[in-house]
Structure 1
């Protein structure tokens, strides 16, 4: 079995229970475990669940290895203590990440809360509105060992950052030494307009390439141009030219993205010749 390229290892966090997938928790956990035993396992990140659905999740767990879990906290900072307590009491779960929404004004309180309650082995992603990300916030997150989460899609057009907006976030994160993850709207490798909604979706290959441009010291305009490219063959060719060392630097920053379908991005990579055929 041929190993997948380093650039794509653990790239796809499994958000199958979230819209628009909306798979039931039992079905989603079963499918995730099956993929963990398949050739696609190296591409997968953790299973993502929200804290309000903890009881559903716990009710589906059985034997086998503990489920690597990223837990989203829609209640914000106030949910941190409950999340850690649940995870400590459930040996069938390996809590690897928390994803906590915040605002610029609430960031200091979140930093204090995380520092006092979250074990060092658990990565904390702070979800900020993309338009509010500043160099100062990036510096705070980097200094305190936190990571950034940015929403790149949703059910309304305004949920999708435009190319210059997302380019500004990526450039600030790279220049500030900050790791980040993205979520929503990134099923397809290449930027495109959705035929059903008319929304412009970012492509995850574009984001990888844009991160590479930022690492090369490019300005925001050049990073935005990488995000805007809708020529799949050209983007795939550029991504195929990324060597192993550069892939490591890119993924140090762009850790993963949440997707309600791991099948679609894998099929996209196969379509563009970026994964070995024996992973099909």
Structure 2
């Protein structure tokens, strides 16, 4: 279905190395290789890893990476630290050794993610990072100043919001997410989200995979991305917040023409534009959870085309 394909294409950046999954490199790489062959692989985005583990990734991925002139590379998103000036050469070296026809296999780091709380920090990142890379700047929840968003604005730079974690206090209020999205829209900035979005719709879920884990109210990835799409196309703040907080899966309905949330709707073309220009992806430690939950939701809420 066109509306679903446009909503979900490349939506899930696989972050299996990170909590709560916390997988070893070999297992995470093997999983990603398997996911690329699934029927729902269209939802799979980049493999996320820290810059400090690039050599480990190269060793683990050697038997999995595609080879040959026409091979589609694995796309990687690499997390940088405040030592990014020392980490960038390692990224360049990795790309050079994993180019087309490389005996090491074909992989490409085209995206980096890094935290910054001051405009000056963003300026230094921009000065140091080659233009080839897209950078997602993670903005701390208490540092969402207009000056910081203004510093991010510009070619190849986007914003990043953390929407959860393994502790209840890691989840921001829905109103803070609305304000973040509004600031991004005002400044013409795209964004990605990360953490706590491995379920489809807002509800109370266990914080970790450990037996007896505490639970907390989590946002669903459908809530976040539907809200972003409606905001991008001019929906009022109150409606955007209501989408973020929606707990009823049946409130979201898809058909060939688009997506509906209660009495509001967007077309497939509007979904496509918002995904390409505004709401890019989310990082998840699980690929199967969000994808399979979404499939179950669609089985009950989508409307077949005529």
TM-score, normalised by the number of residues in structure 2: 0.81
What residue number does 1:113 align with? 125
Question: Where in structure 2 are the equivalents of 1:178-217 lying within 5 Å?
Answer: 178-195=189-206, 196-217=213-234
Normalized per residue, the structure richer in helix is 1
Determine the structure 2 residue equivalent to 1:259. Answer: 284
1:246 is aligned to 2:253: no
From 83, 99, 107, give the equivalent of 2:113: 99
Q: Look up the SS of the partner of 1:129 in the other structure.
A: coil
| Aligned equivalents of 2:197, 2:159: Cα separation in 1 | 17
Deviation larger for 180-189 or 65-74: 65-74
Contact 2:3–2:267 at 8 Å: present in 1 too? no
Within 5 Å, which residues of 2 pair with 1:44-193? 44-62=44-62, 63-64=65-66, 65=71, 66-75=73-82, 77-91=84-98, 92-104=106-118, 107-120=119-132, 122-193=133-204
Aligned to 1:186, the other structure's residue is in SS state coil
Pair member with larger Rg: 2
Structure-2 change in CA distance of 1:265 and 1:80 (3 Å): same
Q: What is the CA distance between 1:235 and its match in structure 2?
A: 3.1
Larger mean Cα displacement after TM superposition, 153-162 or 140-149: 140-149
Structure 1: runs of 5+ lacking an equivalent: none
5 Å matches for 1:33-52?
A: 33-52=33-52
The verdict on how the C-alpha distance between 1:29 and 1:2 changes in structure 2, with shifts beyond 3 A counting, is farther
Change beyond 3 A, Cα 1:79–1:215: same
| Residue 80 of structure 1, CA deviation | 4.3
Is the strand fraction higher in 1 or 2? 2
Deviation readout 1:165-216 (Å, 9 max, x if unpaired): 1111012112222110000000111011125423211111111221123123
Q: Distance in 2 between matches of 1:57 and 1:151?
A: 24
What is the deviation of 1:98?
Answer: 0.4
CA distance in 1, matches of 2:83, 2:204: 32
- 1:176/1:182 CA distance change after superposition, 3 Å: same
What is the alpha-carbon distance in structure 1 between the residues aligned to residue 169 and residue 238 of structure 2? 21
5+ long unaligned stretches in structure 2: 99-105, 207-212, 255-259
Q: Please, what TM-score do these two structures have when normalized by structure 1?
A: 0.88
Contact 2:131 2:156 in 1 (8 A): no
